[in-house]
Amino acid sequence: MEEVAHVVVATDAPVTVSGEPKIGDQLARDQGAFVEVLDKHDTVLHRIRYDRLPITIGNTYRCDHVLDSDDTRAQTVLLAHDESGALSVQSTDHARFWAPGGLTHRWSVNPDQAFVVAGERLRVRTRDYVATRSTAPSAIGWLGGWMTLAAVAAALAVTALQGWFADIDGDRLSGYVTGALGMVGVVSLWSSVWAIVSRLNGKSSHFLAHLSLASLAVVAIAAVDFVFDSAAFSLNLPWLQRYGYLLLALSLAVLVWCHTRYIVRARLGSALTAAFAVGLTVFVLQATTYYNLRGNLSSSLTMTEMRPPGWRIANGASLDAFFANGASLEKRAEDSKPEKPDGLDLGMFSDE
Amino acid sequence: MNRVFLSFFPKLRRYKMSPSLLHFLVATVAAVGCAASFAQTPPSASVAPPAAGSAAASVNAADARLPPPSPTGQRLFDAARDKLVQVRILTRAGSSQASVGSGFLISPDGTTLTNYHVISQLVLEPQRFRAEYVRVDGKRGEVALLGFDVIHDLAIIRLEGIANAAHFNLRDASDPLRQGEKIFSLGNPLDLGFAISEGTYNGLVERRLYDTIHFTGALNPGMSGGPGLDEQGRVIGVNVAGTGGELANLLVPITYVRALIAQPRDVLPDKKLIAAQLKVHQATMIDALLARPLPKQALGPAEVAVGDDKLLRCWGQSNAKPDKLYRSESISCSLQSSLFINQSFTTGTVSWSHTYRTAEKLGAMRFSGWQSRSMSGTMFSGLSFAKPTRYLTRPHCTEDFVDGNGVSFRASICVKAHREFDGLFDMNVSATSVDRDTEGLSSALDVKGVSFANGNRLLRAFLEASTWKK
């Protein structure tokens, strides 16, 4: 819940030494407010101006503002200035309301938050209300323009570098072009989806900003993956690669967070939810795949991501130690006998 | 060398009905056969899985005409008619024919010899299958299993309701066969009817763990378990398998038949007996391989284990081309010792390979990437390796940097336990050198159906044998 702001109605009242307006003058100069009726999405259905307060709001015909409500229980609140001059809402029939701040029968008006009277969502604003500036930070500015070009170029360079490492048959242009097109295709598709999200959430798609971020992510993920694989090899930490899918899930979660929070500029909760959902989905998919491959030589993945001998830091085991460490495999294999066969048994003529 | 079992599984007929599948099988068998002939295929391909073997047998069916018999052949066949039987494995539920093979009487009380692989379903799943015999005159009856020898693929059965039957005599051990001697094979090929095939004894097959007769003559699916006869009509062997090669087929020597006949019948012929025999086999196999230090062979600047030339077949391959940035050479070896357990499970084999790679122009970083991808290709080529099956658990692995005899490896060991046969394991070691910038040695060994201790002995000897000589 956002912080509750007390709304001071008067703006041009004489100012005291302490900087506070004089209450009496303030009340005399401005007595008005707007009462808004909202739907569940906080869209304003009606806005009614009241030049003088106090007024009563409720679903009974003696109210100044009569709510068109299905609620049969008579509920009425009083909108008035309190002793300090702040605009407040007070229940007139001793009923307690859920209002910003909790269960109460009197609360200060928060111009950004709704309260419910007789089943209707209401909001009160004064005529000099200024919408609170969005607290979501923005990276739209620096992610556009030249940054887009630089980010896409960096992503292409990383893709080309990966292709070069993998290409031992000499320079094959088609391989590089295919790799680059594949990367650009994926990044563009990803950015387009986020652009649609941006457009749905605001007035602009910010496609270039999304493209920049996705391209930077390609570079970052490649770099992090390389560093982790190198560390796993150098320090003899197979688990680092074995659970590398956690890193991928985390990276994508961070990427989604950045898209949601800094370009779409969604609320904190929405950004966190989106990042968590995507990260969790990727993690579950990866973990399921890994689980299905458990026990495969994939558990020796450092052999599939080796580095030059000079990068090795960890010491080697002697043959005695190596085979002594392997002694536990006998028991582990025996213990796994109760596991039922799963998946496709490639015995073509299996009589099972 | 491929080994194609000659029992006949009618299920395969369905596959024969599909022309496209037949073409595929023909192409596969031709490819495997040619590869074996020209020694360009790694030995792992030489251990034909039963399905492929049966498929090859089906293909042979397309050319099932046997050479016309000589007068000797006619005489032998006339004399043998009453001593031959067809052994049929039937489902208990519907009495549908699951597989057929041949057999031959060796005593008047109905004791009969056939192959283990003919009656394997009876051993492994007696609750689902039963067996019956059919004689040349069409008489049939139930079959009782007396014993088997899974190592040499033999089984001894008794035909119910038989008394005072004519039977074959075994050729005396004091009268060994001579290469070039005319021999004959009998059986019921393709369930078409009993037939005789004339051929030549060409000695024992070289580089096999157990003696096997090299019979140059036609054998077809359905003849498994039939007798091999000399010109006097005495049994010299039992039909067991084809090789995928034309007229190059295999018989089990009579020596093993005598041993099986002589075995006491106080052990139930069930899975436990298979396990016991597999343990004997693995001990024999490992002892034979490690009887002396593993022989070595140069591979680039390295020296690697290739095994005893009298036991293992090795193939070499090189892709050194002037327009490439790299060069690789490899050696693959395998022991011809595969044991048939059922149609989807064979065991008791050893195979290994070494690959030397060098690529100065690539640089250390790209070279290490190439090494990695090569290992990855090896590891992920068969995802089924990761899954537990009816017969094997999933593998359990460990890995580490290992400083061997002059070579530093990144090495892993993986172990699967046999689910049905206690105390037996499939084991694998994969290792790739990590001590030179632009050249490397990758080695892998697979051994199936061994005790953990014996597997470790072999794996260790294998790793210890690799050294850099330059």
Packing angle of the helix pair B271-289, B452-465 (nearest 10 deg): 20
Could you report the predicted ipTM of this complex, rounded to two decimals? 0.78
Buried b (16+ CB within 10 A) or exposed e, B48-62: bbbbbbbbbbbbbbe
Tell me the mean pLDDT in the region A286-293.
77
DSSP structure string for A227-279: HHHHHHHHTT-HHHHHTHHHHHHHHHHHHHHHIIIIIS---HHHHHHHHHHHH
- Minimal CA–CA distance to A9: which of A241, A21, A19, A1? A21
Enter the tokens of residue A119: 């089943």
Q: Strand A76-81 and strand A97-99: pairing?
A: unpaired
Q: Is A62 helix (H, G, I), strand (E, B) or coil?
A: coil
Residue B303 corresponds to which tokens in the numbers above? 């020296």
**Cα B75 from chain centroid (whole Å):** 34
The lowest-confidence range among A216-225, B57-66, B285-294 is: B57-66
Q: How far is CA A13 from CA A9, A24, A51, A82, A197, in A?
A: 10, 9, 18, 17, 45
* pLDDT score for A12: 35
Q: What is the pLDDT of residue B41?
A: 29
Interface of A with B in 161-200 (CB under 8 A): 164-166, 168-170
User: How many angstroms separate the CA atoms of B466 and B305, rounded?
Assistant: 7
pLDDT at B5: 60
Taking residues A25-41, report their average pLDDT: 70
Least Cα distance to B6 among B127, B121, B114 occurs for B114
Contacts of B97 in chain A (CB under 8 A): none
The label of the residue with tokens 């992090």 reads: A224
Q: Within 13 Å, how many C-alpha atoms sit on residue A139's CB side?
A: 19
Question: How confident is the model over A117-139, as a mean pLDDT?
Answer: 75
- Domains in chain B, start-ordered, CATH in brackets? 63-267 (2.40.10.120), 277-468 (no CATH)
Half-sphere exposure of B303 (CA within 13 A, CB side): 13
Alpha-carbon torsion angle B36, B38, B41, B46, nearest 10: 10
Q: Cβ of B372 and A166 within 8 Å?
A: no
Q: How far apart are CA A315 and CA A317, in angstroms?
A: 7
**Chain A neighbours among B 51-80 (CB < 8 Å)?**
51, 54
Residues B218-230: pLDDT tens digits? 888 888 999 999 9
Domains of chain A: 23-125 (2.60.200.20), 140-309 (no CATH)
Q: Are strands B302-305 and B312-318 parallel, antiparallel or unpaired?
A: unpaired
Evaluate whether A318 touches A246 at the Cβ level (below 8 Å): no
> If DSSP codes are grouped into helix, strand and coil, which group holds residue A113?
coil
**Which DSSP category does A303 fall into?**
G
pLDDT, one tens digit per residue, over B371-429 is 888 877 665 544 446 678 888 888 888 889 999 888 999 998 889 999 999 999 999 89
CA distance B434 to chain A (A): 5
Angle (CA) B267-B272-B277 rounded to 5° is 85
Query: How far is B362 from B368, CA to CA, in rounded Å?
Result: 9
What order of strands is seen across the sheet that includes strand B302-305?
Answer: B296-299, B302-305, B467-468
Q: Which of B323, B393, B415 sits opposite A339 (nearest CB)?
A: B393
Reported as a pLDDT band with limits 50, 70 and 90, residue B16 is very low
Tell me which of A349 and B129 has the higher pLDDT: B129
pLDDT in tens, B245-291: 778 889 999 999 999 999 888 778 888 999 999 999 999 999 999 99
Question: Cβ contact (<8 Å) for B412 and A350?
Answer: no
CA gap B351, B428 in Å, rounded: 10
Smallest Cα distance from A175 to chain B, Å: 16
Q: In degrees rounded to 5, what are phi and psi of residue B444?
A: -145, 140
Listed by number, the residues of chain A in 274-303 with a beta carbon closer than 8 Å to a beta carbon of chain B are: 292-300, 302-303
Mean local confidence (pLDDT), A45-50: 87
* Interface test with chain B among A313, A318, A330, by most B beta carbons within 10 Å: A330
Q: Is the pLDDT of residue B133 over 90?
A: yes
Distance of CA B285 to the CA centre of its chain: 14
Residue B345 sits at the chain A interface (C-beta within 8 Å): yes
Q: Cite the DSSP H helix spans in B271-334.
A: 271-289
Pairing of strands B396-403, A317-318: parallel
Instruction: Give the pLDDT of residue A221.
Output: 92
Mean pLDDT of A193-215: 89
Calpha distance A242→A232 (Å, rounded): 9
- CB of B202 within 8 A of CB of B82? no
The answer, for B173 touching chain A at a CB cutoff of 8 Å, is no
From B363, which residue of chain A is nearest by alpha-carbon distance?
A: A308
Note whether B246 and B64 are within 8 A (CB).
Answer: no
- Which among A165, A304, A318 is the nearest to B375, CB-wise? A304
List pLDDT tens digits, range A73-86. 888 888 988 878 78
Residue among B132, B365, B291, B278 nearest A306 (CA):
B365
Tell me which residue has tokens 């956690």.
A246
Are B391 and A293 in contact, with CB atoms under 8 Å apart? Answer: no
Give the H or E element holding residue B102.
strand B97-105
* H-helix or E-strand spanning residue B70: none
Of A64-73, B1-10, B146-155, give the lowest mean pLDDT range: B1-10
B175: phi then psi, degrees, rounded to nearest 5:
-120, 75
Instruction: Tell me whether residues A303 and B380 touch, CB distance under 8 A.
Output: no
d(CA B202, CA A216): 71
Q: What is the mean pLDDT of residues B307-332?
A: 86
E strand or H helix that includes residue A324: helix A319-325
Would the CB atoms of B390 and A342 count as touching at under 8 Å?
Answer: no
Per-residue confidence (pLDDT) for residue A203, from 0 to 100: 67
- Residue of A169, A289, A296 to mutate, testing the B interface (most B Cβ within 10 Å of its Cβ): A296
Contacts of A267 (CB under 8 A, 6+ apart): A136
Residue reference for tokens 């009589």: A351
Query: A-contacting residues of B 355-384, CB under 8 Å?
Result: 359, 362, 364-373, 375-376, 378-380, 383-384
A323 touches B: beta carbon within 8 Å? yes
Residue B132 has pLDDT above 80, yes or no: yes
pLDDT band at B66 (very low <50, low <70, confident <90, very high): low
Q: Which two tokens stand for residue B269?
A: 């012929």
Cβ–Cβ pairs < 8 A, chains A and B = 215
Provide the CB-side half-sphere exposure for B464 (13 A, CA): 15
Taking phi over 0 as left and psi of -120 to 50 as alpha, with beta for the rest, B342 belongs to beta
The string of pLDDT tens digits covering residues B448-467 is: 999 999 999 999 999 999 99
- Cβ distance B54 to A349 less than 8 Å, yes or no, reads yes
Compute chain A's Rg from CA coordinates.
Answer: 32
